[in-house]
Structure 1
Amino acid sequence: MKHIFLILAIVSQIASAKVISATYEVSYGIFQAMGIADARFEIKEDQTYSIRIEARTTGIAKLLTNNRIETYESHGSLVDGVLIPQKYIKIRRTDSKKTTKIYTFDHVNKIVWRENIQSDEWDKVKNEFYASEDVLSLFFNFKNYMKVRKDRPFYVIGGNKKDGRIDINFPRDEALIQMQEKLDIKQGDFVKVVLNDRIFSSAQGELLINLDQEGLCEKAILEDVLLFGDIVGKRIR
């Protein structure tokens, strides 16, 4: 279940507003509700921003993961309508363990520094690759890319460990009809996100996403997961 929280983060993208919050539920086959994510986005008067998502397991998943909770944060500046991250934080904790990763962006020198904190251990190293966005700022900025609707890859901190690559595709014609049927929604925008990672033994981690008129994710499906079929993320408030 190690990637369920990335799914929660992705389906919890935030629309353009000064303060907005949303809650999402993730279900998995016969297990139904496996996780809840609370998302909050805020732009302050000094044009800095913060995004915070707390994702926690529920039900049987809570028992199997020792009450696992993950928190994702992105902090930075809003420049000409685009989020420029300065820091990306990931905290993972259970009833017995807590780990923290902090990524700091040096955009001038195209370097990202990574700090790993676990119990009394701490180290700071140069990340394997540089990216101008993290996974949360990307999905906020996504409304800017929607204008062109061109299939393309993005490289972000918080993506896969190798190079952070995430592919964004816009379905058309028959592929669009099939996605609408799969999501059981016909209104709004439809996007396919390929995470390029073997999430739950799916081949590439292919995620189908429906966005409402404000750019807020209403529903997402991770297809063809090992044994149980699809993982479904849906906004509940």
Structure 2
Amino acid sequence: MDVHPTSIVAPGAEIADGVSIGPFCTIGPNVRLGERTRLVSHIVVDGHTELGADNVVWPFAMLGGPPQHTAYKGEATRLKIGDRNVIREHATMNIGTVNGGGETLVGSDGLYMIESHVGHDCKVGNHCILTKQATLGGHCDLGDYVIVGGLAAVHQFTRVGRHAMIGGLAAVVKDVIPYGSVWGNHAHLEGLNLVGLKRRGFSRETINTMRAAYRMLFADEGTFQERLDDTVETYAACPEVVEIIDFIRADGARPLCLPEREV
């Protein structure tokens, strides 16, 4: 453990082997820092907050601050961050609320750029990227490999499926299907996240199948329920299509981002 003499580590904090704490950091008494995690300088980690191994946190980030929620009364809720994340300058991540389950969860291998924000009770998957000033309201649920573009905002309680792309400046108030690409204010579905699918090694055959299923699902003919049933029957052998259908059916009370025009 390497702690700069200008930093304050409260009694009770658990600091693992290989941790580096640079100048002017403040570590609260209920914090756990995993192996080889590095705090560059001027960082506050407070609350019941746990960081896994090999994270790098840049200056002026605030991790484990109280939820920005009027119902919070100082309860000992938590923030848990996985491994190998890069958390850049001025990023903020809040602990949970009692009513929201008591825990904010952030996965591993993510990149959280300058001034990005993860609100209370969010659940963020692995390999996610929040670009400059991207904001997640409370209770958001992001799957793995989601990218949130610069200055985009995701409304509280919104679900974003795996491999989805949210364009810069988007205001996302409805759920985003897995593999979808949305943008605009308010955000609408622009198609599949084809660039992300290609970069992550999805085969041409799989992508073509997904595009055909997308066209069937969001066509003008019939009711949405009829198209949903037809799509799952036609493409039941494609796990990615089934994932989209399961995502839609999982929460019928939530509105869904839809295309603005005929697909």
TM-score, structure 2 length as denominator?
0.22
Q: Between Structure 1 and Structure 2, whose CA radius of gyration is higher?
A: 2
Structure with higher RCO (Cα < 8 A, 6+ apart): 1
